[in-house]
Structure 1
C-alpha cells in the first residue's frame, strides 16, 4: 500500500527525530525528510517553492521549538496525533483516487490539511497550495523514480543546482491565452478595414475616455464587427490614431485556450487573473474579446456565482485596462443585458448592415487579396454583381459577409474547374454561385432570362389544355413581377385558382414549377380544419411544446425560398389560416 520511496522517506523522518533526540516524530520531520528526497524536493520546486528556504525554517523550528531528551536518558519515540492523521488522510486520498499505493505526493498534499502545523505554514509561506501539489502529481506522467537513500550533502548541492537550471519558468499568460493583434497587423495577417469611418471614430472616442473606456460593438452576424475591432490594430500600426492610443498594445482574448484543461476549481479564475494582472502591468494595454457574451457565466460552477465577467468588473470600472467587445443583438439581449453591473461598464456601438454601394467598396478593397489567392482577376462588373445578387437572393445572411463569400467561392470554383485556363471572373460566374447558394435556378438569377419568360405561356399551353385565359393571366403577372414593377416585399404572385374538380388547378401549379425550374411545395388544407392544427404550419407560440422546432411551412420555405407553394383545398382550412395568409401576401413574412 505504501510505495518504496515513501517508506524510505518515513524511515528517514524517524531516524532524524531519534538523531536529534526528539520525544515525538511529527509532521515537520516528515516534511524535512521529503525535502531531502529527490522526488520530494523536485515537487516543491515545480510548485514554485524553495526547498533550501523551507529546510532553513525547519532547522530553526527544531532548534527553538522542540526540546531535546538528555543523551543519558532512555526513551521510546512516539508519534504525534498530527503525524497519524497525516498518514491516514494520505491513505484515504489514495483509495479515493483508486491508486494502488500511497506515494510522496499524497503525503505532501496531506500536510496542507494539518492547518495548525508549522510544516503547512512553511509551505504556504512559499506560495505553494495543496491544489498546486495535486495538479503536479496528477499531471506528471513520468514513472516513479527509483527510491534510494537520502542524498548526501555534496549530492544535494549538485542536484539542487541542477534542478535550479531546469526549473520551469511561469509562462507569460498573454502569450498563452491571447493573440497579439499589433504583431499580426505588422505581419500583414489582418485583412484591411474598408469604410466604417463613423464606427471607427466612435470607437476611438470611447477609448480616449478616462473612465469606462470600454466600447462594445453590437450588430447582426456578418456585418463586420470583428473586422472593425481588428481594423483598430491596423490603424494603430499605421499611426492613424490619436496620441492617447499611439502606444497601445492590442491583445485578443482566446476564451477556448483559457478554459481548456481547467480540471480543478480555481484554475480558470487564476488564469484570467494572471491575464488581467499582465495587462495591468502594461501602460497601454487594450483587450479585445470577440463574442464577449461568452464571458458571462464562463468558469462559473453550480455552487457559486463567480464567473469571468465578475472577475473583469473591477479592472474595467477603474480604467486600469481597456476592453473592446463584439456581440450580436440577440446575445447582447439574452446574456449581456441580464448582468446590468457588467453591461453598464461598456458603451454600446451599433454596427449596421452596409448598403449595396458600401459593400461594393468593401469588395473592391479586398479584391487584391482574393485575386492573389486564386490567381484570377475580378472585374468591376463582377464586384457589382456579387454585391447586388447576394443582397437580392441570399436572404438568410447579411452584407458584406455573404458578398465576400460569393467572390471567394467563385474564385475557388473557377480555380478548380478551369484548371488555370481562365484568368478573369465574369458576372455569369457570380450568377452560377449565387444560384447554388440560394438554391434557385441559374435562369432566375441571370438578367437575361427574357427568352425563358417569353416562351413560358407557349410551353404551359402545350401541357395544359382548355385554360388559355388563366395561363395568360398567370404568366403576364409573373413577367410584370420579374420586370421589377411589383413590390419587392411581396411574393412574385398570389393566385386563387377556382373551378370544379378535375379542370387542372393543381396541374397548372405543378407545371409552372416544372417549367420555371423551381421547387413545388403542396399542402393539403383538409388536414388543417382544426384551429390548433394551424400552428403546425408556422410553429407553436412561445411557452408551448415545440416552440423551438419551427413549423412545417416555414421550414419548407427556408429550405426552398424560391418555390411554387400550393395550398390545395383551401376552402377546408380553418379561418385562422387566412389571417396568417394576409401577412404573407402583404410582406412575404
Structure 2
C-alpha cells in the first residue's frame, strides 16, 4: 500500500524521534522529515513558502516542548493524531483507486489536522490545503527547474502580462495621436501621492491602446528620465478569480501580487475595466473585495495603478465609492474625430496589410472611417473603423481572393454584411444620393413638388458645408392638412438617404411628466439608469431622420428642451450624458392652419394665413430656430389618380407571385380616386378603399374561384360600381 519512498520517510521519522530521545512520534516528526525531501521542498516553494524557516521553527518546537526519555532501549509511541492522519491518508488513496500512497498524499493528510503545529506553521506562511493540492497538480515532473525556486515574481507571470516585454517583442501596435492624454498620464504618474491615472471613455475609443502606447514609449526610451525604468503589468482579473473556491483564496493571491509589486522598484499595474474590481472576490460572508485590498497600497504610493473604464461603469461603480475614486486622477478619453481616426488607420495600415496580404488604398481607409461612423452607430471610433478594415481583409482571406488591392465596392459589401443592411443602401458617396434625391422623392410622393424642392435645397446647403456645423443637418416644420404626405415624405427621405427613421408621436407627450420618457427619469425615480427614449435612439443611430409628429400637441416644457437641440445639436439627459444631433434631420409635423390650407385655389393666401396660425401658437424663439416652414398643399383629383396608380402597382407586385395580372380602366381609377379622398382625412382613406373595393373581391377569387391557378383580371366600372372580369 505504501510506496518505498513513503515507507522510508516513516522510518526516518521514527529514527529521528529515537535519536532525540522523544517519548512520542508525532505529526511534526513526519513533517520535518518530509521537508528534507526535494519534491516536498519544491511543493512548498511553489506555494511561496520558506522551507528553511519551517525547519528551524520545528527544531525550536522539539527542543522546547518535547519530553526526553532516559531509558536505553525503547520505541517511541505513535500519537493518536498521527494514527488518525495515516488512516486518513490510506482511506483517501483507496477512495481515489490508487495502488500506492506517496509522500504527497501524506502531506495533504497532515493539512487536515488543523490544530497541529505543522498546520499552524504553514498557515503563518499563507499556505492552505488547496495551495498544496494545486502545487502537486502543477508539478508533475519529479524535479523542478532550480531557477523556479528563486523566482519571486511568479504570481505576476501567472496573473499579469508584462506590457514592456510585449512592447520589446513588437507584440503591441503603435499609438497614433493621443499626445495630450499620454502627456497627462505621464504627469500624473510622476506625482508623489495619488499618482494613479484613470482613463474614462466610451468603449472602443482607445483607452487600452493609450496604456500600451505608453509601454511602447518606455521600451523605446521616449519618456522622461523618471519613467525610463518603470515596469507595467496588466492585471488579468479573470485568471485571478479562476479557481478561488474557498474563502480567502482570492485575497491571498492578490496580496502576493501586491507584495511582489511593492518589492519591484517603479512598478505600475494596469487594470482594464477597473470597475470590475468593485465587488470582485467578495462573498456574502463579508470578505473584502479587490478594491478594498488595493486602497492602502494606492494611498501610500507604494504601487502605481492605471485604470480604464467607461463613463457608465464609472458612474455606477467607481463614483459611488468615493474612497476609491479619490485615489485616482481622472483623464477623459474622447472619441477621436474623423480626421484623427483616418491618421490612426494610416499608422496601422502596414500591420493589417502584412497580416491579410492585401493593399488598402488611402481612399478606402478614408471611406471606412466615414462608413463606420454612419452605419456602425452602436460602436465608437477608432475601434469600429479598425474592425471594418480588419473584416475587409478577413473576407479576402476566407474567399481566397487573388487580389492585391481592396476597392470601394469591397468595402461597401463588407459593411453591408457587418451591419446587416442591404448592400444597395450602403454608399460611401453621399453626393450621388443627394443628386437624385429630389427626383426620387417626387416619384414617391405626389403633389408636393414645392415642399420637396424647399426641403432638398436646405439639405444640400447643409451637406455642402454652408450651414452651421454645430447644428442639426436641418430643422423643418411640415405644415398642412392631414393625409397629404407629410409623414410619407419623411419616410421617403430616410429611405433615399439610407439612414435610420425614428418617429415620436407627440400626442403621447402632452403631460409634463412624459418629458422624462424622452430624456430619462430624474435621479431616485424608477428607470433613472435606463435613460430616455429619444437620447438612446439617437445615440444608437446618430444618422437619422427624426419625425416629431403633431408637435403642437406636445407639452410646452418639451418644446423648450428641444430648443437646445435646434441650436447646438446637443441634448443632455438626466444621466449627464450628451447626445449629438449634428447628423440628424429633424422634421416636425403640424396641422396648424390646416383649415386655411384646405381652400384649394388660393395657395399663396392660405400659406400666409397658415404661417400666421403657426406664429400665434409657437414662441418666436422656436420659429427662429427652424430652417424652413414647409407648406403641404391639399391633393387635387389628378394627384389622387397618381396615388391610385401607385397603390395598384403595389397590389400588382403582391399578385405577381400568384401569376395574376390586373388590368384596370381609367374610369375605374377615377372612381377610386374620388372615393379614396376626404377633405378632412386626405389620402389616408385610399388604403381602406383599395382594400374594400379591390383586395376583398380578389381574395375570394384567389382562394375559391377563378384565380386559384392565376390569370388576368379586368376591372371596369358600371352603374357607379366596379365590375371584375376573369380570363
Any idea what the Cα deviations from partners look like across 1:153-191, whole Å, max 9, x if unmatched? Answer: xxxxxxxxx789999958711211111222211221100
Q: Displacement, 1:499?
A: 0.9
What are the residue-to-residue correspondences of 1:423-438 with 2, within 5 Å? 423-426=405-408, 430=411
Structure 1 residues 439-518: aligned runs within 5 Å = 441-443=425-427, 445-460=429-444, 464=446, 466-488=447-469, 489-490=471-472, 492-500=474-482, 502-518=483-499
Following the alignment from structure 1 to structure 2, what is the Cα–Cα distance between the partners of residues 267 and 341?
25
- 1:524/1:200 CA distance change after superposition, 3 Å: closer
SS of the equivalent of 1:324 reads strand
CA gap 1:182/1:52 in 2 versus in 1, 3 angstroms: closer
SS of aligned partner of 1:179: strand
Are the equivalent residues in 2 in contact too, given 1:182–1:237 (CA < 8 A)?
yes
Tell me which of 162, 171, 186 is aligned to 1:189. 171
Residues 1:392 and 1:41: Cα distance change in structure 2 (over 3 Å): closer
Q: What is the aligned partner in structure 1 of residue 67 from structure 2?
A: 66
Work out whether residues 113 and 119 of structure 2, in 8 Å CA contact, stay in contact via their aligned partners in 1. Answer: no
Counterpart-to-counterpart distance in 1, 2:267 and 2:53: 38
Q: Summarize deviations over 1:348-383 as a string: whole Å, max 9, x none.
A: 444444344333332221111122122222333333
Residues 535-544 or 235-244, more deviating: 535-544
**Deviation readout 1:85-134 (Å, 9 max, x if unpaired):** x89xx89xx9xxx999xx967863453236xxxxx2x5434666796225
| 510-519 or 277-286: bigger deviation | 510-519
Q: Is the 8 A contact 2:54 2:121 kept in 1?
A: no
Alignment of 1:511-526 (within 5 A): 511-518=492-499, 520-522=501-503
**Which shows bigger deviation, 124-133 or 370-379?**
124-133
Distance 2:112 2:348 in 1: 61
My pick for the range that moved more, 532-541 or 224-233, is: 532-541
Shift of 1:490: 1.8
- Of the three residues 291, 316, 339, the one matched with 2:273 is 291
Relative to structure 1, is the Cα distance of residues 220 and 66 closer, same or farther in structure 2, using a 3 angstrom cutoff? same
- Residues 41 and 111 of structure 1: CA distance in aligned 2, closer, same or farther (over 3 Å): farther
Higher-Rg structure is 2
- Which of 213, 217, 226 is matched with 2:208 structurally? 226
Q: Could you tell me the TM-score, scaled by structure 2's length? A: 0.59
**Runs of at least 5 residues in structure 1 that lack an aligned partner in the other structure:** 115-119, 143-161
1:358 corresponds to which of 333, 340, 354: 340
Instruction: Report if the CA contact (8 A) 2:164-2:232 is conserved.
Output: yes
Q: 1:237 aligned to 219, 222, 235, which one?
A: 219
2:115 counterpart of 1:113: yes
Larger relative CO (CA 8 A, sep 6+): 1 or 2? 1
Greater CA drift, 348-357 or 223-232: 348-357
Partner residue of 1:124?
A: 120
Asked if 1 retains the 8 angstrom alpha-carbon contact of 2:441 and 2:492, the reply is no
Verify: 1:300 aligned to 2:282, yes or no: yes
> Which residue is equivalent to 1:545?
526
Distance 1:458 1:354, change over 3 A: closer
Q: Using a 3 Å threshold, how does the CA distance of structure 1 residues 443 and 47 change in structure 2: closer, same or farther? A: closer
Q: Counterparts of 1:250-399 in structure 2 under 5 Å?
A: 250-304=232-286, 306-388=288-370, 390-391=372-373, 395-399=377-381
1:279 Cα deviation (Å)? 2.6
Contact kept, 8 Å, 1:387 with 1:403, in 2: the verdict is yes
